């Protein structure tokens, strides 16, 4: 038996050797080697995983430790001021309130803030508080009493008496974006109401405060729900995973990306506390679309959907913001209110079921009607203004800084006037093209163009600027970048140079006459012979008539007499900075200037000889609230107030009786001074007009200069009229008041002599002190001739005998 057993064992040994080809001692060594290999492989895999995790950790730390968000800088408008005398209908008060997120509440008018009630001749508004570097306002309740549509008085309630004016908060004008058009308003967690946090927890991550970044219970529950539904009905991602996905990862759906998301979520939870993670999430989450711009974060969403700060959201509003996280565009209340309300109510139900809100709060929020703010898409017509503002900012605020640092820039723009200016320009050009179809070109780059710029003469604030008819087609700003021939709008500078005393006797007064007869000047290019537009000559004409009819010959002769340098110096002092050629034709507007320069020059006249600095912003404020930059308002007296008033009075005559008299025919009443301007061959058409409160310049022409074929009174002036009719109405407030030392007396119109009681013809005229006429008209038989000086030349005053000699 033993032998047989031994043989069997031997045979078994042979069989083993035959099967494996190796002895058993080698097999044991192989197993030991395999174990070591597995351990080595495990070590290598562990090491590689550790390296990978460390790499991901560095990515996480770099993002959280650095600047988490690149926030575009916002540009805000000037506050809208409500005051007695304002036409609430023309000012678009209702639409302004709606754009700012105020809700009309005719049935249950009571706090909270941000509501108004318009009832007949009374408007009550719960004004919200707002921050502003110089004009911050508290929350308050005011009542506006109307006479027709005009605000008659304003009272602060309850029982605090009348107030002179109340400002509304600034509107968003636009923002400076980088490559990603994302807009967000960063908020701190302590600014977010608890019910908004609870709403987000209820619908997105109930166990956020318990899990470690991934929630296995939620993943399993979502998986079972999806199996039962036969589709992806629920997601298993936590808030931390959603934040990681938005911060670091692409939207692709692969196992590798989900694994990476889970690892990074764990790293974030280990590295940072829940409060920091939640704050980042609330500032990052995508919540909708404003035109081409993405709305991110609950702070921006509160403004976008409800026109209010996140701290002021109601429970129902918080529930709606949480509700649309799942699909911001398809659930947007701006697109589908019914679907948004259903989703909002589901969130409220979850909050109630999870005991985050009580029965009373739940029922009240569920029954709260949905009221959303009007969509405030960034207006394309404000982009020209934004470009001007950016160029005015100091160099430290370059494009990169503006696109990432989240600055708040308080501008001078009046949103209503900006919209009105854009509509007036577009409508005016289209009307002209309808009258003259030959002006229409199929190439949008060759269309008739124009610009409108309006500013406050007392401050230099640019309240409206439209640099072209369509920013999308052409970003070239014709208000500030295009230099075009000034034409007749330059002529007032000649008369001002002649009216200024300049330390002695002025060349003319408003009672003087100027010579409209043929003459020529020798130049390096040969003789220059100015002509009037109608190629006629009128002999001696009063100064007022010469400007009102925009005669060329008298102003050219006057400029030649006083010297073209004197004219150029006046233009420089008023604010013209473009090159001014010292040639005789400068008197007729041969210089190329920008509309903004012209606005500044005429604003100096409207501001009694004090030159303002046109500016587009007032303050630059850091995200934390400190003022970084404040516009240094620069004013300089460049002309005595008396001369500025005489020039303004001359320009009033242009509107009352001259080339701009069409404005009176269009129904405009009140103080308006202005000047039309048409360059050679009707290539550049201008109208500049000003009231005591507003200077507005309009230019119309082609970018590649060619004839428009009409005078400025049929192209630029109608655009000005369209703008001002909506901006101020046809009845202009205020008056151009003469300085105290300006003398007003009656004169005989033809001779300029002082008119006494018996003079048969008279009109009032203004004079600087000491320049009043010495000749007196007492009646046809009672002339007394007086002469201040026997000196010959343009500086001496003309008497009645001079007039008789020249006439007969």
- Site of tokens 């597995």: 38
* Phi, psi values for residue 745, rounded to 5°: -150, 165
For the chain, what is the largest distance between any 2 Cα atoms, rounded to a whole number of angstroms? 175
Q: 292 is written with which tokens? A: 């081409």
CA distance 631 to 614: 11
Task: Write down the catalytic residue from 169, 171, 185, 204.
Answer: 204
- Site of tokens 């506390």: 273
The full 3-state SS of 736-776, as one line of letters, equals CCCCCCCEEEEECCCCCCEECCCCCCCEEEEECCCCCCCCE
Closest CA to 417 of 469, 450, 462: 462
Asked if the peptide bond before residue 112 counts as cis, ω within 30 degrees of 0, the response is yes
CA distance 299 to 282: 8
The number of residues making up the chain comes to: 808
* Cβ atoms of 658 and 652 closer than 8 Å: no
Element at 173 (helix H, strand E) = strand 172-176
CA distance 54 to 270: 13
Task: Write down the catalytic residue from 280, 488, 550, 713.
Answer: 488
CA distance 470 to 292: 17
Q: 189 is written with which tokens? A: 């967690």
C-alpha distances out from residue 52 to 15, 61, 646, Å: 49, 14, 81
Extended beta strands in 439-538, E state: 449-455, 462-466, 484-485, 513-516, 521-523, 526-528
- Those residues whose C-beta lies under 8 Å from the C-beta of residue 689, and which sit 6 or more positions away, are 655, 660, 663, 672, 673, 674, 675, 695, 696, 720, 724
Q: 691 is written with which tokens? A: 């009231």
> How many Cα atoms within 13 Å fall on the side-chain side of residue 156?
12
C-alpha distances out from residue 169 to 82, 307, 374, 562, Å: 11, 11, 16, 52
Closest CA to 701 of 522, 400, 486: 486
* Phi, psi values for residue 696, rounded to 5°: -130, 130
> How many Cα atoms within 13 Å fall on the side-chain side of residue 275?
7
Q: How far is CA 94 from the centre of its chain?
A: 20
Q: 752 is written with which tokens? A: 């300029």
* Phi, psi values for residue 344, rounded to 5°: -60, -45
Contacts 24+ apart (CB under 8 A), 139-144: 139/113, 140/166, 142/166, 144/82, 144/88
- DSSP string for residues in 75-135: EEPPPEEE-TT-BTTTTTHHHHHHHTT-EE-SSS--SSSSEEEEETTEEEEEEPPB--TTT
* Cβ atoms of 80 and 102 closer than 8 Å: no
Where on the phi/psi map is residue 52: left (φ > 0), alpha (ψ -120 to 50), or beta? alpha
Q: Is 304 helix (H, G, I), strand (E, B) or coil?
A: helix
DSSP 8-state class, residue 626: -
CA distance 490 to 276: 63
- Site of tokens 């009307």: 431
| 154 CB burial (10 A radius; 0-12, 13-18, 19+) | buried
Where on the phi/psi map is residue 76: left (φ > 0), alpha (ψ -120 to 50), or beta? beta
CA distance 789 to 249: 90
Told to judge if 488 belongs to the known catalytic residues of this protein, a careful annotator would answer yes
Give the residue numbers marked as catalytic: 204, 488
């Amino acid at each position: 038996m033993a032998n047989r057993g031994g043989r069997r064992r031997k045979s078994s040994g042979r069989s083993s050797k035959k099967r494996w080809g190796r002895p058993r001692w080698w097999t044991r060594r192989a197993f030991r080697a395999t174990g070591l290999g597995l351990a080595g492989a495990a070590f290598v895999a562990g090491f590689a995983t550790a390296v990978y995790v460390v790499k991901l950790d560095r990515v996480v730390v770099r993002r959280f430790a650095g600047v988490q968000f690149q926030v575009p800088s916002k540009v805000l408008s000037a506050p809208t001021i409500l005051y007695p005398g304002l036409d609430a209908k023309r000012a678009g008060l209702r639409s302004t309130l709606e754009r700012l997120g105020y809700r009309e509440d005719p049935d249950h008018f009571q706090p909270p803030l941000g509501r108004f009630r318009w009832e007949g001749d009374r408007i009550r508004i719960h004004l919200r508080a707002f921050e502003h570097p110089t004009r911050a306002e508290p929350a308050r309740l005011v009542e506006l009493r109307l006479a027709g549509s005009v605000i008659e008085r304003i009272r602060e309630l309850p029982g605090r008496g009348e107030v002179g004016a109340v400002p509304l908060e600034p509107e968003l004008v636009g923002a400076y974006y980088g490559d990603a058009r994302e807009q967000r308003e960063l908020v701190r967690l302590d600014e977010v109401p608890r019910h908004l946090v609870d709403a987000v927890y209820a619908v997105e991550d109930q166990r956020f405060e318990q899990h470690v970044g991934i929630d296995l219970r939620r993943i399993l529950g979502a998986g079972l729900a999806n199996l039962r539904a036969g589709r992806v009905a629920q997601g298993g991602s936590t808030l931390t995973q959603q934040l990681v996905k938005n911060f670091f990862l692409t939207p692709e759906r692969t196992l590798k990306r989900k694994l990476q998301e889970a690892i990074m979520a764990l790293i974030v939870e280990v590295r940072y506390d829940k409060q920091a993670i939640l704050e980042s999430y609330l500032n990052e989450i995508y919540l909708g679309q404003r035109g081409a711009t993405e709305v991110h974060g609950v702070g921006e969403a509160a403004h976008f959907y409800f026109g209010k700060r996140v701290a002021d959201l109601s429970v129902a509003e918080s529930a709606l913001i949480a509700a649309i996280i799942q699909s911001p565009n398809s659930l947007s209340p701006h697109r589908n209110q019914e679907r948004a309300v259903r989703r909002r109510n589901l969130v409220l139900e979850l909050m109630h079921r999870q005991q985050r809100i009580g029965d009373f709060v739940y029922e009240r929020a569920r029954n709260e009607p949905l009221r959303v703010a009007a969509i405030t898409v960034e207006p394309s017509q404000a982009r020209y203004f934004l470009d001007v503002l950016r160029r005015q900012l100091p160099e430290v605020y370059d494009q990169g800084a503006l696109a990432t640092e989240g600055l708040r820039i308080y501008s001078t723009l009046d949103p209503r006037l900006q919209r009105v200016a854009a509509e007036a320009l577009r409508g005016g050009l289209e009307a002209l093209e309808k009258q003259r179809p030959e002006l229409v070109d199929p190439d949008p780059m060759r269309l008739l163009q124009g610009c409108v710029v309006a500013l406050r003469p007392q401050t230099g604030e640019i309240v409206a600027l439209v640099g072209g008819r369509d920013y999308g087609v052409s970003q070239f700003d014709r208000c500030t970048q295009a230099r075009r021939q000034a034409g007749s709008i330059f002529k007032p500078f000649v008369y001002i140079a002649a009216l200024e005393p300049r330390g002695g006797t002025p060349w003319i007064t408003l009672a003087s006459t100027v010579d409209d007869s043929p003459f020529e000047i020798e130049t390096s290019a040969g003789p220059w012979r100015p002509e009037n537009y109608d190629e006629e000559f009128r002999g001696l004409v009063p100064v007022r008539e010469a400007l009102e009819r925009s005669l060329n010959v008298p102003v050219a002769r006057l400029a030649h007499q006083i010297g073209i340098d004197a004219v150029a110096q006046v233009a420089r002092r008023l604010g013209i900075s473009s090159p001014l050629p010292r040639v005789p034709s400068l008197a007729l507007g041969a210089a190329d200037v920008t509309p903004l320069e012209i606005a500044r020059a005429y604003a100096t006249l409207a501001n009694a000889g004090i030159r303002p600095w046109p500016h587009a912003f007032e303050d630059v404020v850091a995200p934390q609230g400190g003022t970084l930059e404040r516009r240094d308002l620069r004013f300089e007296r460049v002309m005595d107030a008396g001369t500025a008033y005489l020039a303004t009075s001359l320009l009033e005559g242009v509107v009352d009786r001259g080339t701009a008299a069409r404005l009176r025919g269009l129904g405009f009443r009140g103080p308006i001074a202005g000047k039309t301007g048409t360059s050679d061959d009707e290539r550049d058409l201008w109208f500049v007009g000003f009231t005591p409160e507003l200077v507005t310049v309009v230019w119309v022409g082609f970018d590649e200069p060619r004839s428009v074929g009409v005078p400025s009174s049929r192209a630029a002036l109608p655009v000005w009229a369209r703008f001002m009719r909506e901006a101020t109405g046809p009845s202009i407030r205020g008056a151009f008041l003469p300085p105290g030392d300006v003398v007003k007396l009656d004169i005989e119109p033809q001779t300029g002599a002082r008119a006494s009681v018996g003079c048969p013809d008279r009109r009032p005229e203004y004079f600087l002190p000491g320049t009043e006429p010495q000749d007196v008209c007492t009646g046809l038989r009672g002339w007394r001739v007086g002469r201040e000086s026997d000196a010959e030349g343009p500086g001496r005053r003309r008497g009645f005998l001079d007039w008789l000699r020249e006439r007969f």
